[in-house]
Amino acid sequence: MSSEDQDAQEDELLALASIFPKDEFKRSETSQGGELQACLDLPPNFEILIKGDAAANFFNEHFHNSISFLPPIVLHFELPSDYPSASPPNFTLSCKWLSPKQLARLCQHLDKLWVENAGCVVLFAWMRFLKEETLEHLCITSPHEIEVCPIVCQDWSESSDTAECSSAACSLEEVSLDRRAIQDVESVSALIKCILDFNESQQKKCFESKSYMCNICFSEKLGNECTYFKVCHHVYCNICIKDYFEIQIQDGQVHSLNCPEPKCPSTATPAQVKELVGEELFSRYDRLLLQSSLDLMPDVVYCPRPSCQTPVMQEGTIGICPSCHHAFCTLCNMTYHGVSSCKFSAEKLAALRNEYLAADEVEKKFLEKRYGKKALQAAVAEMESQDWLGKNSKSCPRCGTHIQKIDGCNKMTCTGCKQYFCWLCMGSLTRGNPYSHFNDSSTPCFNQLFQGLLAEENEFDLNGEN
């Protein structure tokens, strides 16, 4: 290698390192060469379509309008000892979304640029062409349809001047392509994943480098200090969103981690929540979110033991906890009692009745599936009966039997235990002279034996029977 070629190569590699960031230029540590990545500037609203299987059809349907960045064209090069005075760089050109035929056309143009600049360093001219003129040179417009050639079709023989292909499926046209052109993707699914991941990472990179105004604290901050809601495109600083999310999670409102903009339906992703609130609060968020999801499943109940509370799949009216092995009735949460009727507490009956009556048709079907339609109807009937008794009857002070007063005086006789009692104060009366209670001036019921009766009914003798 002449000293002039050596100096020119070293100067060019140093210039490339100063022009391109580290993620676009990587110099080889073992030889005079390296790798250059050309990321194309796509026009606005650039659409792509992918030929292939079901995965490609799904991508075409859901993602082709959202692509702002495509994976780079990668130029791998090695400088021969007589470059640039006599020989061009040895290179390969690889890309995931350009076909081998398209890459071969780019290789041919790089050769042409070398001829035009013979004797001069050419790598920067190559990169400028790849970044700025690739779309025009290949006549690529939106929507662009990508063809995937399996990587096995690019297993070129290095020992022969004639390129050979190990796949019988390749056409003669494909076999004759430039062996420096490589579409390095194994399948349609791999290509889709690569495109989506690269597009997302580049969008994040662009977002983090710009400044945004937070509409909560009205401070301007860089994107790497902000949270971006993808659906609505609203941006808030991390400090404000963190405080907002922490309050919501502490209050158990895990379904309310929405964009703070009024009436905005956008929600934060679990990854955004975890990054903002930390491990401890995120664990609570994750647990409550799972629990709320399980609560919406009619076949899932919880072990009633306070020390357990494990989710249990119910089979009919029986639930067997996989953790503590407790068998319980899924209707009343008591120990499983077979075909015997459930004994709901008054509070449980009231809660079930209120929840069932307030539910819409969908919610009623959900409750009927969980508790049984007959059990819910019985709960409603029982509570209606209890409500009626509470409004229209009183309980005997001795045995608790419900007594309805239809007519007569305020000295009552229980139909169950035959106890005499006062309808006004519900006090028990003596069996020898029950009316003395109404003649005693020291009681609040003095002269109130016939209170509530019509005036013409107040002619009964105080010693008469009720």
Decide if 264 is catalytic: no
Q: Which one has a higher pLDDT value, 78 or 355?
A: 78
Question: Does 234 have pLDDT greater than 80?
Answer: yes
pLDDT, one tens digit per residue, over 137-158 is 999 998 888 888 754 444 443 4
For the segment(s) 210-295, the CATH number from 3.90.870.10, 3.30.300.130, 3.30.40.10, 3.30.9.10 is 3.30.40.10
CA-based nearest residue to 381, from 355, 407, 406, 349: 349
The mean pLDDT of 31-42, rounded to a whole number, is 94
Contact 50, 60 (CB under 8 A): yes
What is the pLDDT at residue 321? 92
Residue-level pLDDT at 19: 94
Q: Give the C-alpha separation, 257 to 245, whole Å.
A: 6
* Beta-ladder partners of 25: 36
- pLDDT surpasses 80 at 40: yes
Residues 6+ apart with CB under 8 A from 74: 35, 36, 37, 38, 93, 94, 95
What pLDDT does 212 receive?
92
Q: Please report, rounded to a whole number, the percentage of residues in the chain having pLDDT higher than 70.
A: 87
Residues with Cβ within 8 Å of residue 16, at least 6 apart in sequence: 25, 27, 34, 36, 123, 124
Reported as a pLDDT band with limits 50, 70 and 90, residue 91 is very high
The pLDDT tens digits of the residues spanning 52-71 come to 777 777 677 766 556 889 99
- The torsion angle over the Cα atoms of residues 116, 120, 124 and 128, rounded to 10 degrees, is -20
Query: For all residues of the chain together, what is the average pLDDT?
Result: 83
| Band of residue 14 on the pLDDT scale cut at 50, 70, 90 | very high
Which of the following is catalytic: 95, 170, 321, 409? 409
Cα–Cα distance, 186 to 207 (Å, whole number): 31
Q: What is the pLDDT of residues 334-382, one digit of tens each?
A: 888 887 766 666 677 777 778 888 888 888 877 776 666 777 777 778 7
- CATH T-level topology, domain 3-200: Ubiquitin Conjugating Enzyme (3.10.110)
- Higher confidence at residue 227 or residue 463? 227
DSSP class of 88 = P
Task: In whole angstroms, give the CA distance from residue 80 to residue 57.
Answer: 45
Better-scored residue on pLDDT, 242 or 293: 242
53's tokens: 């299987």
pLDDT surpassing 50 at residue 181: yes
For 55, 92, 425, 441, 466, the CA distances from 444, given in Å and listed in that order, are 86, 108, 8, 8, 20
What's the confidence (pLDDT) of residue 37?
A: 96
User: Is residue 372 helix, strand or coil?
Assistant: coil
pLDDT tens readout for residues 409-430: 888 999 889 899 998 899 999 8
Residue 405 clears pLDDT 70, i.e. is over it = yes
Question: Residue 175: what pLDDT?
Answer: 39
Per-residue confidence band for 464, with pLDDT thresholds at 50, 70 and 90: very low
